[in-house]
Structures are given as structure tokens and as C-alpha cells.
A and B are shown apart, each in its own frame.
Chain A
Amino acid sequence: MQGNEAVAYGALDAGVNFFAGYPITPSTEVAEILAAELPKRGGVFVQMEDEIASICAITGASLAGAKALTATSGPGFSLMQEGIGFAKITETPCVVVNVQRLGPSTGMPTSPAQGDIMQAKWGSHGDSPSIVLYPDSVKESYELTIRAVNLAEKYRTCVILLMDEVIGHMRESVRLPDMANVRVINRIKPTVPPHWYKHYDENQKYLSPLASYGEGYRFHVTGLTHDAHGFPTNKSGEAAEMMEACGRKISYNMRDLVQIESRDMEDAKIAIFTAGITARAAKAAIAMARHEGIKVGLLRPLTIWPFPDDAVRKMLRDVDTVIVPELNQGQMIHEIRRLTKDKSDGDVIPIQRVNGQLITPNDILRKIKEVC
């Protein structure tokens, strides 16, 4: 099974019944599979006129009650940013899959890169927190797509699944779980009568129920700053409340959101911190280095935003050196430097590549040997 195929089937198994998208390499297979599969299941597939229309259509469908997802790559992801902000401020569940490619603008459409790590967090204007997941295998692409849909529904926000081109196009032998073991989360529905309904009504976990159009609630949704009922407001208190609510539901639920793989870290003196395809190279490098008796381990975030601050701080406390390989000119490394103030800059070492080629196990092994 291919990575992009795993995303498509993950979406279907998570209950996604609405896809709107626009063709773009290297994500197109997701759309092609859903174009064949969704109509068979009574769901909607629509090819829109551009990526802007795609994010808007899935947000509209979600407000009408659909579980909605779109898939794109860098240029399309840039076009979607305003719409992603709208989904966040209106707390409307949806998922955007971004299969990354190299470079700004058109770049190298069929080459891998990890250049959108910061864009996935800060891409939309106006300071809104993000939930971003990042798989490193075909199987995990399936699992994290389901998780992305679940988190979108639960947290009422636009969740981003960041993919590497190589993983999107890679085929791997995988055994998908029995559907009976797949946990699917649906949005909380209001239990109050329509005249009591508030469109933004946090419970003790800062999560709020969501009605759909056509269910008698007749609520208002706006991209303007709004009060708890959803109506526009210019009052600074209400504006701050709205802005903070979007962040609060994430910061309060960090334990639910953070997922991190730790491998061979118990006795490690050197840690490698990396995500996605680069972590696959790291795993191979660690196996070789361990074979030679070098104490090196891996930390790999599956949720890259919110950043797993506490876990990273704790797990990097006892290592001497952190190597941060990434297919960009330095994005994740700034987070690691922020969290390892006890180490000198020289102890947090980058491996960066932006030529469309992967960082290989040997590249990482060489760096490990340089520092040990």
C-alpha cells in the first residue's frame, strides 16, 4: 500500500464523507482514490476550481455536518491559509493533508522536503494555535489520518497532517487494523434546545458542542471576532476571550494531543530529534551506531504542533548532544535550542539538506561518529 493510499483509506475509515480538492503533485493519489471510493459510500467527492475553494467547501460541508478533508501540497497549502484561519476562528472541524515538496513557489514538485514545518504552525495570519501530525511510515499515515480526523472533530479545529513526498509515494507492506479496533471520534452534539444553544460553549475541558445547519439551531458563523453565540463583536474583552479559547483547548489537553516515539533513549548520550522520513534514516543510523557500541537514541514527535515541550525537555536532559536532521534550512532545530538552554549551541547539531535528496543513514552515522 502507498502512503497517499493509506491516507485515503484512513480518511474513509475515520468516517470522512466529504472531500473537496484540486489536483497537485505529490498528493493527487488521495483525491483519485476518494473520487472512486466516496460515491460508492454515498459520500461527496468534488474537484473544485482551486485550493482556496477546496478549503472553503470542506469548511461549509463541515458546518452542515460532514466529516470533511482535503489534500494538497505546498503551493495549494499556501493558498489555503486564509481558509484554515477561518476554520480555526470559527472552530469548525476539518483536516488538511499537506504532502510536502521542495522549495518555495513551484520548486521541485516530485522531490521530498520538510520545508512546511513552520508554515503548518504559523501559516495563517493572526496568531492561531495549530494541531499538526507527522507520520514516518505508510501504516502510520493511515493511523494518523484517522487521528487527525478524530482530533479535528473533538477539538473543533482544522488539523493538519504533514506528509513527506517519499512517504506519500512509498509502498510498504502493511497490515491495517480490523475496523472493529479503529476508534472513531465524532463531534459532541448539543443537547440543549435551540434557543439555549451557544455556538461556542466550552465544557470543563474547554471543548464545545457543535450543531449542524439544518438541525433547527439556526446559528450564525462569522470570521469576525465573535461572542459565545457566534455574533460579531468589537468588545476587547470578548475578542480576547475568543482568541484565548482557541489556544486554551489545546494547551489544556496537551496530554491527549502529544505523541512522541522514544527509541534507545534510556542510556543515550547522543539524541537524534527528527520527524517523518528523516526519522527512518535516523533509525537505520542508530542501529548501525549501536552495533558499534555508540550510545545514541531517537526522539520522534508524531504530533509536531503543539510542540512536546515537557517530554523533549525531560528526555534531552541527560544527553550531551542532540542532532537535528531535517530537509530544510533549519526549522525544528530552533525548538530544540529553545528547550535545551542548558546546552551550548555546539551541542545541538543540524544536518540539513534542500537539494531534493534524502538525508541518508550514512549522513547521520557520520555525524554521530564526529561527535562521540
Chain B
Amino acid sequence: MDKSYEIRLSGSGGQGLILAGIILARAAVIDKHKVTQTQSYGPESRGGYSRADVIISDREIYFPEATNFNCLLALTQEACDKYLFDLRETGILIIDTTFVKNLALAADNTYELPFTEIAMDKLGSPISTNVLSLAFLVKVTGIVSEKALETSIRESVKPAFVDLNLKAMKLGFDLAKNYGK
């Protein structure tokens, strides 16, 4: 990886985006990349805004906040509207159509799926929407290896939730593999 790769995971508090950022950052470390992960959130534990930035590089990362994203994941309309314009022209946009109904700008590389609805249908609750959409992102971008993501999930979530999250991960990979088919 010659240049650094900037990812923003955005949505609202309670969607598990900061945990998703930590999982992604840890997976990058497992793949022996340099990584920074920062976050910004409101005072609410549930609701409000929330975002996690992950920068992955093989060189020293100077500024740890994503300013010009290679990839943006937006789980809410508000987050999509707010951050879309900082996505590079070639950047990848992934949106959750459960909540994102209007897209201000048609980006070339846009992936649209109702992640929250899928999580509720297939996994029984919206709780693992974060890992589901993260796995989708990993498969689409190839930014970390699938193996590293799995190891990272095992290390990052509470033991009782490992199985559920691995199931979510596999579902995310499958969704990406079959996207558009």
C-alpha cells in the first residue's frame, strides 16, 4: 500500500460504529499495516451523531482524521448528507437504504443495501448491522484480509457475541460477493 487509505464509518450513536472502527483498525494491525482510528460522537450513548475514522497505511500516518475518504459508510441520512462531499471522486460509497432515502450526488462506486433490515431479517436484530456492513465494506474494498477481520472480531467483541458477529460477517461477505447479481 503506497498511499494511505482513508475510511469513515458514520451514522448515529448506538449503531456500533466506533466498535466497527476498532475492529477494522485491529484487523489492519493483524495484517501488519500502520493504522490510526479516531472518533467523534455526541454526548448521547444512543442517538445523536457518531463516526469512526480509520486510516490504513504502510508509512507513518501523520494526521489521524479522515479528510478525503477512499471509502464512506453511511448508516443514516444525516451522516450521508454531511460527509458525502468529502468522498474522493474515485471513492467508494456504501449506504444503508433502510435509512438513507435520498442521495444528493450519484457517485460512481455506490453500493446500496438495506443493511439494518437485512440484519433484522436474517440475524434477528439490528444489533450486528455494524459488523454486517463492515464485512461488506472489507469485501468490496479488500482493504484488510477476510481472515484478519475474523480474528479481529474474535478479539474485539465479548465472548457471548462472537458467534452472532461471525454470522453477520459471513452474511456481509456473501452480500458483497453477490452484489448486483
Contact = CB atoms under 8 A, between A and B. Distances in A.
A and B touch in the complex (CB under 8 A): yes
Interface of A: 109-111, 166, 169-173, 277, 280-281, 283-284, 287, 358, 360-362
A173 B35 contact: yes
B33 A173 contact: yes
B88 interface: no
Contact of A280 (B28, B41, B63): B63
A171 B62 contact: no
A34 to B, nearest CB: 21
Contacts of A277: 64
Contacts of B62: 280-281, 283-284, 287, 361
Contacts of B41: 110
Counting contact residues on chain B (CB < 8 A from A), the size range is 20 to 34
A37 B64 CA distance: 28
B123 interface: no
Nearest to A111: B40
A166 B64 contact: yes
B166 interface: no
6 smallest CB-CB distances across A and B, nearest first, come from A284-B62, A283-B62, A171-B37, A284-B63, A173-B29, A170-B38
Contacts of A280: 62-64
A283 B63 contact: yes
Given A283-B63, A360-B65, A110 B38 contact: no
A110 B28 CA distance: 26
B125 interface: no
Given A171-B22, A361-B63, A166 B38 contact: yes
Interface in B1-53: 21-22, 25, 28-29, 33-43
A277 B38 CA distance: 12
B67 A361 contact: yes
A173 B59 CA distance: 12
B43 A110 contact: yes
Contacts of B21: 171
Contacts of A169: 38-39
A170 B63 contact: no
B28 A173 contact: yes
Contact of B37 (A110, A170, A362): A170
B43 to A, nearest CB: 6
Contacts of A109: 43
A283 to B, nearest CB: 4
Contacts of A287: 62
11 contacts: A170-B36, A170-B37, A173-B33, A173-B34, A173-B35, A277-B64, A280-B62, A287-B62, A360-B65, A361-B63, A361-B67
Given A170-B38, A284-B62, 10 more contacts: A110-B40, A166-B38, A170-B36, A171-B25, A171-B37, A171-B38, A172-B37, A277-B64, A281-B62, A360-B63
B67 A171 contact: no
B67 A172 contact: no
